[in-house]
Amino acid sequence: MTSLLSSLCATLGLAVTLISATVHAAESDSKAATNELNKVCPISGKPADGRITVIYEEIKYAFADAECRAKFNEARANSLYHKLGGKAAIDAAVEAFYVKVLADARIKHYFEDINMNKQRRKQKEFLSAAFGGPIPWQGKDLRKAHENLPGLNESHFNAVAENLQKTLEELKIRKELIDQVMAIAASTKDSVLNRKPGAK
Ligand code: HEM
């Protein structure tokens, strides 16, 4: 499978560093995690047992029991997030995406007064969660986040979606995965445009 990360290597010429990151992706799970252990099981919501843990992308998670841990592992392995290449790949794709957005005369004015470091970070967190990553989205509701953008309409939404699709195509992501990403992006349209669900 061509991962998002390995495609990026070719695109940006960062072959050595990034291919090495891909090769060592599995090993990174065994690196020491330094985070404070969660007290609530992310699967069952019950108290977590600090002896039943897994390390995923250098973060250690504790679970109520072994069944919860197995569910967590299965969800990770089957997620679009994982298939795209995980955190490093999604972070890199969002960076490339905003280069396009900020160069796009149809929409760049919306980002003129925005702290783009924060915006990139938020978008990475949002998309990671939306693609089934391990950390739930804790930022603003998308309706709230976009409610004060003057004149925001479908043409702006489509321009953003187009930039996202082009970014993924340039990174040589498999069409099947791009289709899944674009379906998730499309599912946010009513919220981003502050419309009633299914409105035209
Ligand atoms: C696929 C569609 C979209 C998604 C998933 C999305 C996602 C997000 C997220 C996660 C945030 C940060 C929320 C937070 O601060 O917690 C955000 C903020 C923002 N988005 Fe979007 N967005 C989408 C479409 C658009 C469009 C079409 C525009 C305008 C052309 C836009 C412009 C902005 C701006 C300017 C902010 C910053 C608002 C502020 O900080 O006051 N977004 N978006």
Kindly report the number of other CB atoms within 10 A of residue 125's CB atom.
19
Structural domain contains residue 176:
yes
- The sign one gets for the Cα dihedral 191, 168, 131, 78 is positive
Token duo for residue 30 = 């065994």
For ligand 1, what atom is nearest to the CA of residue 115?
Answer: 40
Cα-to-centroid distance, 145 and ligand 1 (Å) = 6
* Residue 103 Ramachandran class (φ > 0 left, ψ -120 to 50 alpha, else beta): alpha
Structural domain contains residue 20:
no
- Kindly give the confidence (pLDDT) of every residue in the chain, 200 residues in length, as a single tens digit, with 9 standing for 90 and above: 445 545 443 443 333 333 333 333 333 445 678 899 999 999 999 999 999 999 999 999 999 999 999 999 999 999 999 999 999 999 999 999 999 999 999 999 999 999 999 999 999 999 999 999 999 999 999 999 999 999 999 999 999 999 999 999 999 999 999 999 999 999 999 999 999 887 76
Give the distance, in angstroms, between the CA of residue 169 and the centroid of all CA atoms in the same chain: 16
Structural domain contains residue 30:
no
Q: Are 99 and 111 in contact (CB under 8 A)?
A: no
pTM of the model: 0.85
Cβ of 192 less than 6 Å from ligand 1 = yes
* Domain with 111 in it: 79-192
Determine the residue type at 175. K
Structural domain contains residue 63:
no
Structural domain contains residue 16:
no
Cβ of 114 less than 6 Å from ligand 1 = yes
Kindly report the number of other CB atoms within 10 A of residue 87's CB atom.
21
Structural domain contains residue 84:
yes
In total, how many domains does the chain have?
1
Q: Are 23 and 109 in contact (CB under 8 A)?
A: no
Give the CATH number for residue 97: 1.10.490.10
